[in-house]
Amino acid sequence: MNCLSGRIELLERQGGWPSAAIEQLDYFAEKIRRFTPGFLPDYTEHLQHVAVIEAAYESDRLGTSCRPDEFLKLIQETKEEE
């Protein structure tokens, strides 16, 4: 709830182009709603996203550009060791 106006904020677009972020949040929420106890989903399809995010954080920390593919290799190597 927005404290200043007393209105509830909505995460939806009014007209215009569809929002990829909203579609992703809807997909994520649907996965949670349909959760099956004992079933462990495979998150490997999202490792590329994690690599991009990690490269962004490291780039900011170092003040230089970092390549996401290097982080993806590191993430995949760590996953294979498990």
pLDDT tens profile 25-45: 888 888 778 877 777 767 777
Per the domain annotation, does 50 fall within a domain?
A: yes
Per the domain annotation, does 59 fall within a domain?
A: yes
What is the pTM assigned to this prediction?
0.48
- Band of pLDDT at residue 76, cut at 50, 70 and 90: confident
pLDDT at position 62: 93
Per the domain annotation, does 9 fall within a domain?
A: no
Number of structural domains in the chain: 1
Per the domain annotation, does 73 fall within a domain?
A: yes
pLDDT at position 64: 92
For 73, the domain range is 44-81
The type of residue at 34 is: R
Instruction: State the virtual CA torsion across 23, 29, 30, 36 in degrees, nearest 10.
Output: 150
Per the domain annotation, does 22 fall within a domain?
A: no
For residues 79 and 44, what is the distance between their CA atoms, to the nearest angstrom? 9
Per the domain annotation, does 16 fall within a domain?
A: no
Tokens 């900011």 found at: 60
